[in-house]
Structure 1
Amino acid sequence: MDSENLTIYIISVLCLGAVLIMARDRVPQQLKRGMALTAVIMILLAFVLIIYNFVA
């Protein structure tokens, strides 16, 4: 796996999570659950890819 692409993905996912946490008051109620679920799935995938990168 290309570590440069993985690094870019991890940085972008963590920035997305930070933006969602900082902007949680301005997001409409209908979008909060979907955005949070999407961010959690992407962050979990990032950590799985980090572990995979260490093992492989």
Structure 2
Amino acid sequence: MDATASVIFIIAAFSLGAIVIMKRDSLPPGLRRGLALVSIAFIAFAFFLIVYAFFTMGSA
């Protein structure tokens, strides 16, 4: 597993979530809902990557 790509994805996912939260008043309602769902999916996968990295830290 490439750690650099995982770290970049994790930072990007959390940044997208923060931007959606900070700019929620200026986004149109339809776009707001779609971006929120995509952000939740990305952040959930980022948490999975963090947990997976901790479980596989001792091996290899």
User: TM-score scaled to structure 1, two decimals?
Assistant: 0.92
Specify every segment of 5 or more residues in structure 2 that has no aligned partner in the other structure, as ranges: none
In 2, the alpha carbon distance for the partners of 1:34 and 1:7 equals 24
Identical-pair percentage: 45
CA RMSD between the two structures = 0.7
Q: Across the two proteins, how many residue pairs are aligned to each other?
A: 56
Cα drift, residue 2 of structure 1: 1.1
User: TM-score scaled to structure 2, two decimals?
Assistant: 0.87
Which residue does the alignment assign to 2:29? Answer: 29
- Which residue identity does 1:9 align to in structure 2? F
Where do 1:1-56 residues align within 5 Å? 1-56=1-56
Query: What is the SS of the residue equivalent to 1:32?
Result: helix
Query: 4+ residue stretches of structure 1 with deviation over 3 A?
Result: none
Tell which structure's C-alpha radius of gyration is larger: 2
Specify every segment of 5 or more residues in structure 1 that has no aligned partner in the other structure, as ranges: none
In 2, the alpha carbon distance for the partners of 1:49 and 1:18 equals 19
